[in-house]
Amino acid sequence: MPTGPTGRPATIYDVAARAKLSIATVSRVLQGTGPVSAKARARVDQAAQELNYVPLRAARSLAVQRHEAHGLVLPDLAGPFYADWLMGYERWAGEHGQSVVITVMHGNPDPRRSVRDLASRVDGIVVHGNALDLATIQDLRGARVPVVLVAHAPVAGCDSVRSESAGSAEQLTTRLLDHGRTNLLFVGDPDGSYDVSERYVGFAKALRNRGLEAPAPARVPLTEVGGRQFAETVLQAIKSGRGRPDGLVCANDELALAAMTTLTSHGVGVPDDIVVTGWDDVMAARYVSPGLTTVRQPMAELGRTAAERLHERVTGVRTRARNDVLATQLVLRDSCGTNRGMHAVTE
Amino acid sequence: MPTGPTGRPATIYDVAARAKLSIATVSRVLQGTGPVSAKARARVDQAAQELNYVPLRAARSLAVQRHEAHGLVLPDLAGPFYADWLMGYERWAGEHGQSVVITVMHGNPDPRRSVRDLASRVDGIVVHGNALDLATIQDLRGARVPVVLVAHAPVAGCDSVRSESAGSAEQLTTRLLDHGRTNLLFVGDPDGSYDVSERYVGFAKALRNRGLEAPAPARVPLTEVGGRQFAETVLQAIKSGRGRPDGLVCANDELALAAMTTLTSHGVGVPDDIVVTGWDDVMAARYVSPGLTTVRQPMAELGRTAAERLHERVTGVRTRARNDVLATQLVLRDSCGTNRGMHAVTE
DNA sequence: ACTCAAACTGTAAGCGCTTCCACTTTCGCC
DNA sequence: GGCGAAAGTGGAAGCGCTTACAGTTTGAGT
């Protein structure tokens, strides 16, 4: 928020003139580089102060060949957890003087252009989930843009950060089986995202461990509409006397919540007739009745970690790719019928 | 994601050399400015293509004295609605070729520096709620940085965008009074944000219209913890036989949800013994029982509008300040005890 | 006092792009 | 075929900053 004498923003020349020093010295004082006398420092500080001078980032970026900014590419911002993730990222960025430029792909009229554009104003890019196809990611890599993948399968040359999925899903599923469930269904499309595919892997593994065959996943969108629709088909199946599931392992909470409430409102008891679990631990999960058993991801930490990894790459302190997997937390509530005592938390 | 012959990103010089034309022509082709022959255009396009050339934004910004970027300053990202707001903003920005740089104030080690920094890499700034104090906003204005305020009281020289609050609050409160409530309480601190203060104004007005005196607001934080704590004091009051409220008009849903569930879990009936309303219509509001009556703000549209206003200011197509107020929607559910039929929606 | 190094400061050359201005083509038309 | 205007192109000057490099002080050591 600089104010120059002319009304136009003050430049380093204005400061230099006012301090009666060269722009080189001004730059050295302001950036804290190189040796400067105390006197010069004081004069510059005062002049800068008086002119309310702020160096123009574009000029600095051009000169130092660095932007001091991170680019984030997100598929969209739906769901409550992006906020937490972003918050974690922002926090780290703020503490380390990095700006954050966000680009959302959903509804973007020209994704390719947007990403190129982003790449030219930041030092590196974080890609969340499948916001970008592999070709575009490779493109970025080819152009030597540091890339960190979040909630995405590892890619050669890129760092990745995600939360553990398969293990938690297996653990959760096993728990349901332990409590006598015999006809579990996985709800959600594994092809939709890496995370979901991992969850299905864990689900299937738990079943196989019991000598059961894993049924194909119900490929519905991870939304409330998807959950409602799926519940309808379950209700149909029950009504028509066909085989009925006695448990739904849903790929996220929206799905689970919609499915569960649809079922209960049609007289199907949860958890007695059918158990339901979700993923993410959204706020509604603890306000619905019965409370929704779910898996909590350390969203803020995922964000923080992604920021850190990207910075390491940008500054070059690390060159070997690194794939972080953060632990999740099983949150037991009543919807899974295995809960003793509220809010027991395992793992 | 440019790739130059040397491994370093290609510059406009590389393209010019390859196309056997001057950089001036290359620039004209790429930016679509000025007259260029079809032949030249083709050569440049091809060369740029082959080199995977992307103009460096910093250089362009420096030359054109514009960043083609908007800065957003947010207090934090808590709550589910920032996501919708941001989504609306991003969408508009993406469609209009503007980048979005986000800065979160909460937990920021040096807010002042962050804002100055932001100001020097964008063409204008949107400030959400009370992320910034008035002095800082004035500073920005003084430096001729276009500023748009969201959910904030209008400030001279700044545009503002918010959603209607007082009227909806009055309408909601009146409705409760119409249904026989006589001892309503407003929960939330009006000093905490402009929006909340407006809601309290509407609440108080409704009471005065009935010749009732508006009680002082319960100044608790707008969080689940705040709601729980407040509910405890209500429970105390009831137990000790002191006057009890028969309705809580809460400043947001988190507060309302926590208060409501605390009350019901202690045997206080909602809506029979006491009615509860919230604000924002978060997802949990429709999963809790009874469903939470609340007020929905057009978050995405608020975001879109803010983006548009800022752009108008940046481009100078409008110079007079403008204050937009968007309509809200009363969402009636069972917690207010005045609902006939699910999901009736008024206004 | 004198030398030499260390401390400080200034000059100027970029960083990669846009754009004014001048210059050369190319047309349209009499 | 020749003329003027329009179209196309290139040279070069910035935009505001950083940073060699060179130049000037300063000060310690003798």
List CB contacts of B89: < 8 A, sequence separation 6 or more: B70, B72, B100, B126, B303, B304, B306, B307
Model confidence at A339, in pLDDT bands (50, 70, 90)? low
Contact B144 A78 (CB under 8 A): no
**Angle of helix B224-239 relative to helix B253-265, nearest 10 degrees?**
40
Q: Which amino acid is at B343?
A: H
Joined tokens for residue A44: 């510059």
A300 Cβ contact partners less than 8 Å away, ≥ 6 residues apart: A84, A85, A87, A88, A91
Residue A342 has pLDDT above 70, yes or no: no
pLDDT of residue B339: 65
Average pLDDT over residues A134-139: 93
Closest approach of chain B CAs to the CA of A225, in angstroms? 13
Average pLDDT over residues A29-52: 92
Mean pLDDT on A72-90: 90
Q: What is the C-alpha separation between A233 and A204, in angstroms, rounded? A: 22
The answer to whether the Cβ–Cβ distance between B54 and A116 falls below 8 Å is yes
pLDDT in tens, chain B (347 residues): 444 444 678 999 999 999 999 999 999 999 999 889 999 999 999 999 999 899 999 999 999 999 999 999 999 888 777 899 999 999 999 999 999 999 999 989 899 889 999 999 999 999 999 999 999 999 899 888 999 999 999 999 999 999 999 999 999 999 999 999 999 999 999 999 999 999 999 999 999 999 999 999 999 999 999 999 999 999 999 988 877 899 999 999 999 999 999 999 999 998 999 999 999 999 999 999 999 999 999 999 999 999 999 999 999 999 999 999 999 999 999 999 876 544 433 33
**Shortest CA distance to B342 belongs to which of B286, B270, B288?**
B286
At A4 the pLDDT is: 42
Q: What is the pLDDT of residue A253?
A: 97
Residue B60: nearest nucleotide (C-alpha to C1'): C17
Q: Which residues of A touch B99 (CB under 8 A)?
A: 101, 103, 117-118, 121
* Set of chain B residues whose Cβ sits within 8 Å of the Cβ of A284: 282-284, 286-288
Alpha carbons A335 and A245: distance in angstroms, whole number: 15
pLDDT at position A337 is 84
> Looking at residues A177-203, what average pLDDT do you find?
96
pLDDT tens for each residue of A267-301: 999 899 999 999 999 999 999 999 999 999 999 99
Q: Is the pLDDT of residue A335 over 80?
A: yes
Angstrom distance, B138 CA to C16 C1': 34
pLDDT of residue B7: 65
pLDDT digits (tens, 9 = 90+) for A156-188: 999 999 999 999 999 999 999 999 999 999 999
Q: Is B54:A119 a contact under the CB 8 Å cutoff?
A: yes
Amino acid B107 CA to nucleotide D19 C1' distance, rounded Å: 35
A179: amino acid identity, one letter = H
Is there contact between A119 and strand C, defined as CB under 7 Å from any strand atom?
Answer: no
> What pLDDT does residue B98 have?
96
Are B254 and B227 in contact, with CB atoms under 8 Å apart?
yes
The tokens of A184 are what? 């579990």
List the single residue in B91, B99, B115 with the smallest CB-CB distance to A121.
B99
All domains in chain A, ordered by first residue: 1-53 (1.10.260.40), 166-298+329-345 (3.40.50.2300)
pLDDT of residue B236: 92
Q: What percent of chain A has pLDDT over 90?
A: 84
Q: Is B106 helix (H, G, I), strand (E, B) or coil?
A: coil
